[in-house]
Amino acid sequence: MKIATFNINHINKRLPNLLRWLKRSKPDVVCLQELKCETRSFPEQELLRAGYSAAWEGQKSWNGVAILSRISQPIVTARKLPGDPSDTQARYIEAAINGVLIACLYMPNGNPQPGPKFDYKMKWFSRLARRATQLQKQGQPVILAGDYNVAPTELDIYPTKSWAKDALIQPAPRKAFASLVKNGWRDSIRELYGDERVYTFWTYWRNRYDRDDGLRLDHLLLNGSLADRLTAGGVDGDIRGEEGASDHAPVWIELR
């Protein structure tokens, strides 16, 4: 089973890029973030023709998440992150596919910090941690996949001081991410690559991609029921170099 996460950064604008990658990489399941389209504007038919059924939550102009599957239709178990009924941002969807529960998430960016947006990020992170605990207690295989908007350690950002004030590398979200790992969630890409620098995101400005000045923001966390089934994983970094590309690259793992 090959599972990927990809912040597509506007699915309709980048649909040709997405379809080319799906044809080449052939993931069984894909978690998408930043759809940037209303629910009714999601390109369901184009994806069906490519062999993928989907479940999604859209939002006009911003956010939006989706789970694609070429195994079977995703069985949706949640369309928003529990814990705050007033939160209307489309950042979370959860579905069962082939015996695995897959949560697709798009963590708030949190900039500028300090401020309300950073506070929202940390509250959202706390809600995610509570949901993660609930899912662990169910005893089934679970993946928490998506754009966490956190570079967990200094290994996950190119050597620089220019991001020092950015919400992506602040101590609080890093501590929250580390807490998830400490509480039984396995950071699949880090486990596979050890101390090697691996990036999933490169900003559009100052030739950051060409210089490989990136950050690792996109993660697939596995619970104990899945961790021992991990066999491979990687980042399709060349996708970021295509014309009209997202500023993120797809990240994938394979499970036996």
Give every CB contact of residue 193 below 8 A, 6+ residues apart in sequence: none
Half-sphere exposure of 59 (CA within 13 A, CB side): 18
Tell me the pLDDT tens digit for each residue of 38-68.
999 999 999 999 999 999 999 999 999 999 9
Six-digit token pair at 128? Answer: 């995610």
* Domain interval for residue 129: 2-255
DSSP 77: E
Edge-to-edge strand order for the sheet containing 92-97? 75-78, 92-97, 100-106, 142-147, 218-222, 186-187
pLDDT for 254: 98
78: left (phi over 0), alpha (psi -120 to 50) or beta: beta
Please give the average pLDDT of every successive group of 10 residues along the chain, which has 256 residues.
98 98 98 98 98 98 97 97 97 97 98 98 98 95 98 98 97 98 97 97 96 98 95 98 97 97
Bridge partners, residue 220, by sequence: 145
List phi, psi (to 5°) of 207.
55, 35
Token pair in block for residue 19: 């379809």
Residues 190-221 have pLDDT tens digits of 999 999 999 999 999 999 999 999 999 999 99
pLDDT given at position 76? 98
CATH no. for residue 111? 3.60.10.10
- pTM of the entire predicted model: 0.97
What is the SS3 assignment for 2?
strand
pLDDT value for 109: 98
Phi–psi pair at 32, nearest 5 degrees? -110, 145
What is the pLDDT at residue 37? 98
CA distance 59 to 104: 15
Q: Cα 115 vs. chain centroid, distance in angstroms? A: 24
Q: What is the pLDDT of residue 49?
A: 98
Measure the CA–CA gap between 117 and 104, rounded to whole angstroms.
21
Q: How many domains does the chain have?
A: 1
Q: What is the DSSP string of 100-162?
A: EEEEEEE-----SSSSHHHHHHHHHHHHHHHHHHHHHHTTS-EEEEEE-----SGGGB-S-ST
The reported pLDDT for the residue numbered 68 is 98
What pLDDT does residue 247 have?
98
The helix/strand/coil state of 15 is helix
d(CA 33, CA 90): 9
Say how far apart CA 120 and CA 183 lie, in whole Å: 22
Strand, helix or coil for residue 64 = coil
Tell me the two tokens of residue 13: 């604008």
